[in-house]
Amino acid sequence: MNAPLPADALSKLKAVLGPDGWSEDPDRLAPKLAEWRGRWQGWTPLLVTPRTVEEVSGVVSICAEHGVPIVPQGGNTGLVGGQIPEGELLLSMEKMRAVRDVNPADDAMVVEAGVTLLEAQAAAAAQDRLFPLSLAAEGTATVGGNISTNAGGVAVLRYGMMRDLVLGLEAVLPNGEVFRGLKRLRKDNTGYDLKQLLIGAEGTLGVVTAASLKLFPVMRSRATAVVAVEDPAKAVALLMRAKAETGGGVDAFEIMSRLGTQMVLRNIPGTRDPLPGGAYPWTVLVELASGEPRAAEAAMERLLAAALEDRLILDAAVAQSEQQARDFWRVREDQSAGQKPEGAGWKHDISAPVSQVPAMLAEATAAVERFHPGVRVTAFGHLGDGNIHYDVIMPQGADRAAFEALRDEGSRIVHDIVARYEGSISAEHGLGRMKSAEALRYKQPAQVEAMRAIRRALDPKGIMNPAVLF
Ligand SMILES: Cc1cc2nc3c(=O)[nH]c(=O)nc-3n(C[C@H](O)[C@H](O)[C@H](O)COP(=O)(O)OP(=O)(O)OC[C@H]3O[C@@H](n4cnc5c(N)ncnc54)[C@H](O)[C@@H]3O)c2cc1C
């Protein structure tokens, strides 16, 4: 699609939003049309920036009436291109940034969709509560985007995905009607749960305008360590021990391959090897937390001492200060950025049952190395919940364009292996423009037909993010 908006729709939209509520200025639009990794460059006839749920409703009603397609956008940190319009109207949530309420007695807070994840965490912390969702893009990613992608991140092991953290939603449905569902209930068995349909819908079933989110007690002690292991199977064994030792007190369990860590140390200024003594094949960042003062540190000490004695682990470094813990985390969080200067990569966001991850990784690596000798495989991420970012980087000195031309074929090899392990080809990033067609290969027909029927029922004119999902 590459056409201007119908003139009557355009004038109605401008009237609903007022002079500050829309823009056609290319400089204002440019950052919203480029994707973080540079894989998509979009186009839109109009950017709209509503300030209230009523304005969002006005925009969507006009678009429904005139059949104008819409792409909602939050922080534009999505990694599958679902937030980039290709001719659709771009609806940004940048002006809906109020924290409406934080209620410690209910362990709930209500925030608007354009609030960044970092601001939501800070609003909870100001009332001595924890909002636990955490990911590297949290300074820019919004709560609305987190909900629409059902974001995961580094604390899923203990607290679950965004889906587990939402008590209620306010949203504008594709016909412009407002769903006012900002309840704070833990229990509400009264039929289909509309909010759960909207979570992870990637903007296809409406525009999320606000959410009621679950809060938790703040932890009183925390211990962070980087642990060297021989292989992912040993890491899984360590995870089981850590869970048993702490009674479920493992906040994060993030694996990193040596190659990925080397790329970080080589390419990201200011990073340091947490275990400079040895070039270990795999490391795991383990974070334990407890409601009891000093309990996490004591548990970490017991866990690592026993694991070393039993030769389950090769080495370990425990952070001695908050700064050191941040330095450890930096090596993990910069794994993606560290790859960039190394050339093109085929990126995968895959998951499997935790017990199957070691075998799945070994099989995938053998297969891609057979397919394209010389590729450099880096694997990192949330082993604690079975989700690995599995990236195949081009051989040193290879031709970038030729390597990129093989991406679909190379990724198909990985995805077919993931499917055999009953895993997912998109564990936490969603499907977006990038993976919707590929995902159709792995979905059951009954599942696809049910999804399409739901979409048709809520959005008969097909205006909401039409290039995304099925
Ligand atoms: C460095 C980096 C690290 C990351 N780490 C993680 C990670 O650990 N775990 C993880 O899950 N993701 C991660 N991501 C991906 C990304 O941050 C998440 O997908 C995030 O949830 C997207 O939020 P956003 O506000 O940027 O959404 P956008 O990118 O703006 O949009 C994403 C999708 O949601 C839709 N959408 C956005 N807002 C709304 C709304 N209000 N109503 C309806 N639909 C909407 C869009 O149409 C699009 O389909 C990472 C990204 C980066 C750049």
Placement of tokens 């470094």 in the chain: 317
End-to-end CA distance of the chain: 18
The maximal CA–CA distance of the chain, rounded, in angstroms, is: 75
Cα 408 to middle of ligand 1, angstroms: 23
User: Ligand 1 atom closest to Cα of 148?
Assistant: 34
The tokens describing 313, both together, are 């682990």
Give me ligand 1 centre to Cα 168, in Å: 19
Q: How far is the CA of 381 from the centre of ligand 1 (A)?
A: 17
Q: Compute the distance from residue 163 Cα to the ligand 1 centre, in Å.
A: 14
pLDDT of residue 2: 54
Q: Which H, E and C letters describe the chain, residue by residue?
A: CCCCCCHHHHHHHHHHHCCCCEECCHHHHHHHHECCCCCCECECCCEECCCCHHHHHHHHHHHHHHCCCEEEECCCCCCCCCCCCECCEEEECCCCCCEEEEECCCCEEEEECCCEHHHHHHHHHCCCEECCCECCCCCCCEHHHHHHCCCCECCHHHHCCHHHHEEEEEEECCCCCEEEECCCCCCCCCCCCHHHHHCCCCCCCCEEEEEEEECEECCCEEEEEEEEECCHHHHHHHHHHHHHHHCCCEEEEEEEEHHHHHHHHHHCCCCCCCCCCCCCCEEEEEEEEECCCCHHHHHHHHHHHHHHHCCCCCEEEECCCHHHHHHHHHHHHCHHHHHHHHCCEEEEEEECCHHHHHHHHHHHHHHHHHHCCCCEEEEEEEHHHCEEEEEEECCCCCCHHHHHHCHHHHHHHHHHHHHHCCCECECCCCCHHHHHHHHHCCCCHHHHHHHHHHHHHHCCCCCECCCCCC
- What's the pLDDT at 1? 47
Average pLDDT, the chain: 97
Please give the distance, rounded to the nearest whole angstrom, from the Cα atom of residue 414 to the centre of ligand 1.
24
Output the CA 73–ligand 1 centroid distance in Å: 9
246 lines ligand 1 (CB under 6 A): no
Q: What atom of ligand 1 comes closest to residue 465's alpha carbon?
A: 47
Q: Ligand 1 centroid to 116 CA: how many Å?
A: 11
Q: Is 429 in the pocket of ligand 1 (CB under 6 A)?
A: yes
134 lines ligand 1 (CB under 6 A): no
136 lines ligand 1 (CB under 6 A): yes
In angstroms, the CA 271 to CA 430 distance is 30
Instruction: Determine the distance separating the centroid of ligand 1 and the alpha carbon of 314, expressed in angstroms.
Output: 36
Nearest ligand 1 atom, CA 203: 44
Is the CB of 113 inside a 6 Å radius of any atom of ligand 1? yes
The ranges of the chain with pLDDT < 70 are: 1-2
Indicate whether residue 152 lines ligand 1 (CB < 6 A). yes
265 Cα: distance to centroid of ligand 1 (angstroms): 27
Residue 278, pLDDT score: 81
pLDDT of residue 318: 98
Q: CA 397 to CA 332: how far, in whole Å?
A: 26
402-413 pLDDT, tens digit per residue, is 999 999 999 999
Q: Is the CB of 142 under 6 A from ligand 1?
A: yes
Which atom belonging to ligand 1 lies closest to the Cα atom of 198? 43
Going from the Cα of 65 to the center of ligand 1, the distance in angstroms, rounded, reads 28
The Cβ-side half-sphere exposure at 149, using a 13 Å CA radius, reads 30
> What Å distances lie between residue 346 and 339, 379, 403, 406, 437, CA to CA?
11, 12, 9, 9, 17
* CB 36 less than 6 A from any atom of ligand 1: yes
For 415-452, write each residue's pLDDT tens digit. Answer: 999 999 999 999 999 999 999 999 999 999 999 999 99
Q: Is the CB of 74 under 6 A from ligand 1?
A: yes
Q: Is the CB of 426 under 6 A from ligand 1?
A: no
Q: Is the CB of 464 under 6 A from ligand 1?
A: no
Residue 143 CA: which ligand 1 atom is closest?
Answer: 25
**Tell me, what's the pLDDT at 38?**
82
What is the Å distance from ligand 1's center to 79 Cα? Answer: 7
